[in-house]
Structures are given as structure tokens and as C-alpha cells.
């Protein structure tokens, strides 16, 4: 990560954080780090974490009902709308049942360098998602629907300053030992320039498999399309390591496939099943 993020202090971003949701997310992040250090080895009888990160596509399945699960990572992006963008994405997940749950996410300690080499620091917008899993008659397959709202909690040098509404459809299945997740979505973008359609369409297909009890690999193709804007697409690949059933590490990279896409991204993170809420 950039040396300009002083001592990796992800909360010292040069801006005042007043949003209560962000304060709560940051507190959970600290708990997650403590948990990962003290619960590296879990009993076989304990439930397992279900990572969504780092792929753009989500599986239809939710996290373990009644358990708080948190994902946290670090990433460096080159290209796209900026020269560089460093940040720490975070996502909290809580399922009420096998078929209903909520997600709450943001992007902490964003530092972006625009094409004129001007640097901006702050925290990202806040995303709230309601998720519904739709089981099928086929074992290992399910549909999913995500309805999301992006609250413009970021300052206008980091975010658009406008709310977005998100609808995402999911189909997950298993083929020859590979977990396959297909996502197709549309985002109604709150802030767009003249001549650009407000609807941004997205797609992603990811495949992953376990190599053994600890290691797994994954790959993903994804892209976006928007009338009046150039299409983007990227390929992502990486690996996962099960530190325990409740703590999963990940790392990898992505590369843009069109001129309008980000050139590349490097990332690493952790998913931790923190504890039972009820």
C-alpha cells in the first residue's frame, strides 16, 4: 500500500467521520482483527465462514443464520478514472434465516490520486443490502436477489455525492467440483453527466474450487455497460487459505480487458465469523 497512508492507520484519513454507521463499522473491524489473532483454530463442530470477497459476484447463499460475519481487505487500483486508488473495503453480514439476510459495507481510508496528480483522502459511501435466497429442487443450486441502497456518506472528492439504487440477480451452482456464481445487475446511478444513461448494467461469473482442506483457488470475469459510456471488463484470479473454519484469508489480482477498465488491482483480505448474535 501507499506510504502516504501513515503507519497503516486506516482511521486517520484527514476527514471528520460523523456518520454513526461508519463508526460502528470501524469498531467491528477492530474486533475482527482481535478475533483473527485469538481464534486461528476453531473446533470442527463450529460453523464455517462463507466469504463473498474478493470477487465482484456474490453467491446465492447467505452467511450462517444468527452469526455476525465480517469481511475486511486492502486493495490498490491502478488506472480507470484515477491514476491510483488505495482503500480498505469492509462488509458486515448477518443472516436472519437460510433465505433472508442483510449486508452493510463501506470503503475505509480511501486515498485517490487523480490524473492531474492531486491527492484526495476520505471514506467511501455506505452500502445497505437486503438479500433473499431462493432454493431450488437441485442440491447445490440456488437463486438469489439483492436489493441495495448506496448512501452518499463520502465527500464529493471520493464519491458521487448522490444515492444509488441497486438490483442484483444471482444463480449459484456446482459443476464438476467447482462452485459457480453468476450475477447480473443494474444500478440506478444518482449522479451522471449529461448524455449518460442513469442505469449501469453489470455482469460477473466466478468459478472456484478447493484444492485441499486449507487452500482454494478462484477466477472471475466481470464487466459493466452504460449507454453513453465505454464498456468495462476485467479478469480476476486469486487464492484462499482457511486459517480455521471461521477465518479465511484471500489474496489475488485483477487485470482490465478494455481501454476504459482499471489497468490492474492487487488485493488481500480476511473473512471472519465473529460470533453468535442470537
Helix/strand/coil (H/E/C) assignment for every residue in 174-228 = EECCEEEEEEEEEEECCCCCCCCCCEEEEEEEEEEEECCCCEEEEEEEEEEEECC
The pLDDT score that the predictor gives to residue 4 is 35
Read off the pLDDT of residues 147-203 as tens digits, 9 standing for 90 and up.
999 999 998 889 888 999 999 999 999 999 999 999 999 999 987 888 899 999 999
Is residue 215 classed exposed, middle or buried when 0-12, 13-18 and 19+ CB atoms within 10 A define those classes?
exposed
The pLDDT score that the predictor gives to residue 191 is 78
Under the banding of pLDDT at 50, 70 and 90, the label for residue 32 is low
The pLDDT score that the predictor gives to residue 30 is 58
Under the banding of pLDDT at 50, 70 and 90, the label for residue 218 is very high
| C-alpha closest to that of 164 among 191, 194, 131, 134 | 191
The three-state (H, E, C) secondary structure of 223-273, written as one string? EEEECCEEEEEEEEEEEEEEEECCEEEEEEEEEECCCCCEEEEEEEEEEEE
CB atoms within 10 A of CB 70: 26
* Mean pLDDT along residues 68-89: 94
The pLDDT score that the predictor gives to residue 13 is 38
The pLDDT score that the predictor gives to residue 159 is 87
Under the banding of pLDDT at 50, 70 and 90, the label for residue 9 is very low
| C-alpha closest to that of 132 among 106, 95, 165, 104 | 95
pLDDT above 90: percentage of residues in the chain: 77
Instruction: List the Cα angle 182/242/57 in 5-degree steps.
Output: 15
Q: Which domains does the chain have, with CATH numbers?
A: 17-276 (2.40.160.40)
Read off the pLDDT of residues 235-269 as tens digits, 9 standing for 90 and up.
999 999 999 999 999 999 999 999 999 999 999 99
The pLDDT score that the predictor gives to residue 46 is 83
Q: Are 192 and 184 in contact (CB under 8 A)?
A: no
CB atoms within 10 A of CB 37: 9
Q: Is a pLDDT exceeding 80 seen at residue 10?
A: no
Q: Are 217 and 209 in contact (CB under 8 A)?
A: yes
The pLDDT score that the predictor gives to residue 33 is 58
Gap between the Cα atoms of 113 and 134, Å rounded: 42
Residue 38: DSSP 8-state? H
**Average pLDDT value for the chain:** 88
| C-alpha closest to that of 210 among 246, 179, 233 | 179
Q: Is a pLDDT exceeding 90 seen at residue 229?
A: yes
pTM here? 0.85
* Mean pLDDT along residues 104-132: 95
The pLDDT score that the predictor gives to residue 166 is 98
**SS3 call for 25:** helix
Gap between the Cα atoms of 36 and 27, Å rounded: 15
Amino acid at each position: 500500500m501507499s506510504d502516504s497512508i501513515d503507519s497503516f492507520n486506516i482511521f486517520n484519513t484527514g476527514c471528520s467521520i460523523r456518520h454513526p454507521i461508519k463508526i460502528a463499522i470501524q469498531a467491528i473491524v477492530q474486533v475482527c482483527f482481535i478475533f483473527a489473532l485469538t481464534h486461528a483454530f476453531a473446533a470442527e463442530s463450529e460453523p464455517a465462514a462463507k466469504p463473498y470477497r474478493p470477487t465482484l459476484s456474490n453467491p446465492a447463499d447467505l452467511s450462517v443464520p444468527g452469526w455476525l460475519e465480517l469481511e475486511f481487505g486492502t486493495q490498490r487500483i491502478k488506472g480507470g478514472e484515477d491514476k491510483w486508488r488505495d482503500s480498505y473495503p469492509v462488509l458486515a453480514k448477518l443472516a436472519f434465516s437460510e433465505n433472508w439476510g442483510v449486508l452493510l459495507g463501506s470503503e475505509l481510508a480511501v486515498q485517490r490520486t487523480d490524473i492531474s496528480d492531486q491527492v484526495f483522502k476520505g471514506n467511501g459511501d455506505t452500502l445497505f443490502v437486503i438479500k433473499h435466497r431462493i432454493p431450488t429442487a437441485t442440491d447445490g443450486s440456488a437463486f438469489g436477489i439483492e436489493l441495495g441502497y448506496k448512501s452518499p456518506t463520502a465527500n464529493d472528492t471520493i464519491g458521487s455525492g448522490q444515492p444509488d439504487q441497486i438490483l442484483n440477480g444471482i444463480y449459484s451452482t456446482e459443476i464438476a467440483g467447482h462452485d459457480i456464481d453468476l450475477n447480473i445487475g443494474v444500478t440506478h446511478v444518482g449522479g451522471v453527466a449529461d448524455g449518460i444513461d442513469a442505469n449501469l448494467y453489470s455482469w460477473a461469473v466466478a468459478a472456484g474450487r478447493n484444492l485441499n482442506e486449507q487452500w482454494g483457488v478462484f477466477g472471475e470475469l466481470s464487466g459493466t455497460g452504460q449507454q453513453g459510456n465505454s464498456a468495462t471488463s476485467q479478469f480476476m484470479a486469486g487464492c484462499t487459505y482457511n486459517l480455521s473454519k471461521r477465518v479465511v484469508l484471500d489474496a489475488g489480482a485483477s487485470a482490465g480487458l478494455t481501454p476504459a477498465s482499471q489497468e490492474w488491482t492487487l488485493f488481500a483480505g480476511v473473512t471472519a465469523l465473529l460470533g453468535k448474535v442470537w
